[in-house]
Structure 1
Amino acid sequence: MSKPRKPKGRPVSGWLILDKPFDFGSTEAVAKIKWLLKAQKAGHAGTLDPLASGMLPIALGDATKTVPYVMDGRKIYEFTVTWGEERTTDDLEGEVTQSSDKRPTAEEIKAILGDYTGTIQQIPPQFSAIKIDGERAYDLAREGETVEIPSREVEIHRLTLIASDENTARFEVECGKGTYVRALARDFGRQLGCYGHISALRRTFVAPFGEDDMVPLADLVALEKIEDEAERLAALDAFLIDTGEALSSLPQIIINDDQAHRLRMGNPIILRGRDAPVSADEAYATARGKLVAIGEIGGGEFRPKRVFQG
């Protein structure tokens, strides 16, 4: 019987909030961070198109278990729409499919924003990761197929026109999971009768992480010049945010070392004290400031679903 293969890399865990540069893919960014930190495991919480810049939360090690909680968080984007052309990809990368000489005024733009605020129905772009009969829409689009993508419900919490001139308009949007900003630009242009596409897109917030958490890729790459590996890795690790920060939207319980040991063995613990939560479908437990487990609370107990070694 062969021995299980030992994972390559360090068992480093935590979140690195990358300020992804323009023209750099999300998968490429994750691979670069994993290589820089010599991590065993890495993943991201929400793809950013290569032509988009800004926040790409990257989970390392045990933090990959908390990716769904960040994926579900609110997001804020700043984006620029260029009027006069609709494109296959709804951004600069695609070919022009419709054009118009009409240009909207700021007043005309502001007048339609209410139609895109709240819970709305949105049709994702042809070039998107939506699956159609088991295939990605962007794969079908690259083969020249035009597919019917059903609309879906998305939540737009806030939509603001920041500035506009004759040919462009700049917006900020705060939205929920699954919203396509490129689709907003497409639909704005169609409703205004002038067509439009995204010409700049930057993500500035993915709950619970903010702009102050972002680290430019150039700052991380610059540390490659440190010849001593231990010193270099320590400098890189200093940018990591604790895994538990991804769970700030859930109830938290603080436990002692004995309780932490029980949870890590997969056993429930009894919650005592009048301030202990009575029930919760999901909560997280910490000991000495470190994440121990995600679980449920009921019947005076915390029952672990996922455990973390700390």
Structure 2
Amino acid sequence: MTSAKLPKRRISGVLLLDKPKGKSSNIALQISKRLFQAEKGGHTGILDPLATGLLPVCFGEATKYAQYLLDSDKAYIADLQLGVETTTGDVEGEESSRTDARINAAQFQAACVAFTRTYEQMPPMFSALKHNGKALYEYARQGINIERKRRTITIFSIAVLAFDEAAQTAQIAVSCSKGTYIRTLAEDIAREAGTLAHLTDLRRTATAGFSIAHSHTIEALEALELDGRDGLLLPCEALVAHLPAITLADAEIVRLRYGQQVQTSVNYGIMAALRVYDVQQTFIGLVEALPEQRLKALRLMSTN
């Protein structure tokens, strides 16, 4: 006998999930939706199945603001095995190159310093980037190499947490801009130091001001009742807390909801997005500041 499906709920909020190793971001999302009985959900950027760590999951109205996390800076802790490159850049791939060259901690540190900058990084073939509607990793699995364009990324900091000269392993903490591939960064650092490398472990520790310290594992969520899980959700505006906030009168908010522009007495300049609250400080959504002190709606919370 199969159990009846639980009813879906129109719930909104943000879950800071600690994604487990071995599960894709989409599988982690589906598990989260089931645990919260959420009608609608989405995640805010893909973590490789190998990787663990911070994966903000959006439910309901929060999905409207997920893009603002996709564009945010990230932080990771990565474990590297030196001397060997793989087809995927991590332990899940086959060995593709090996070297007998050995480096010391000073050489590795110098290479990390050399890549603490803005540079043009080549996306790996084993990635979710699309070519003609298909992910690059699908071509890679067929042995097809697709020409890629380098992308400008910034490495804000690299801290060497550990280096074992005998085992030729290292652990680094990386703070970087969106679009950075840590697998590729590991390979680049190793080559700069005169060796090769692949990742043996990867953990995302921060994104958009959120920290892994405030995340929740699937096991911890499963141990709670539904109302306990609900109590862990952050409000939708947590995704855009970095944007400037303004308060508008009810009449102005009504005009925005009808697709009309609002004339204000305050000059906000020209800004991509502002958070809007009503006089009761209820989050209304995002607006764009236009010339001549006008505002227009970008993404507003539903009133249904």
TM value normalised by structure 1 = 0.88
The answer to which of 82-91 and 192-201 deviates more is: 192-201
Corresponding residue number in structure 2 for 1:135: 134
Corresponding residue number in structure 2 for 1:10: 9
C-alpha displacement of 1:258 = 4.3
1:295-306 to 2 correspondence within 5 Å? 295-298=287-290, 299-306=292-299
Code of the residue aligned with 1:66 in structure 2: it is Y
C-alpha deviations, 1:157-209, integer Å up to 9, x for none?
11121110022111011111110000011222223332110011100100131
TM value normalised by structure 2 = 0.90
Corresponding residue number in structure 1 for 2:169: 168
Corresponding residue number in structure 2 for 1:3: none
RMSD of aligned Cα (Å): 1.9
Asked if 1:249 is matched to 2:248, the reply is: no
Code of the residue aligned with 1:27 in structure 2: it is N
Asked if 1:25 is matched to 2:18, the reply is: no
1:160–1:171 CA contact under 8 A, matched in 2: yes
Unaligned runs of 5+ in 2: 1-6
C-alpha displacement of 1:256 = 4.2
1:208–1:248 CA contact under 8 A, matched in 2: no
C-alpha displacement of 1:111 = 1.2
- Following the alignment from structure 1 to structure 2, what is the Cα–Cα distance between the partners of residues 235 and 263? 35
**What SS does structure 2 have at the residue aligned with 1:215?**
coil
1:86–1:195 CA contact under 8 A, matched in 2: yes
Unaligned runs of 5+ in 1: 1-7, 224-231
- Following the alignment from structure 1 to structure 2, what is the Cα–Cα distance between the partners of residues 163 and 271? 55
After the TM superposition, list the runs of 4 or more consecutive aligned residues in structure 1 that deviate by more than 4 angstroms: none
1:122–1:154 CA contact under 8 A, matched in 2: yes
Code of the residue aligned with 1:211 in structure 2: it is I
Code of the residue aligned with 1:159 in structure 2: it is I
Corresponding residue number in structure 2 for 1:293: 285
**What SS does structure 1 have at the residue aligned with 2:56?**
strand
- Following the alignment from structure 1 to structure 2, what is the Cα–Cα distance between the partners of residues 165 and 70? 35
1:1-310 to 2 correspondence within 5 Å? 9-166=8-165, 167-223=168-224, 232-272=225-265, 277-287=268-278, 288-298=280-290, 299-309=292-302
- Following the alignment from structure 2 to structure 1, what is the Cα–Cα distance between the partners of residues 255 and 175? 41
Code of the residue aligned with 1:95 in structure 2: it is E
C-alpha displacement of 1:57 = 0.7
**What SS does structure 2 have at the residue aligned with 1:246?**
helix
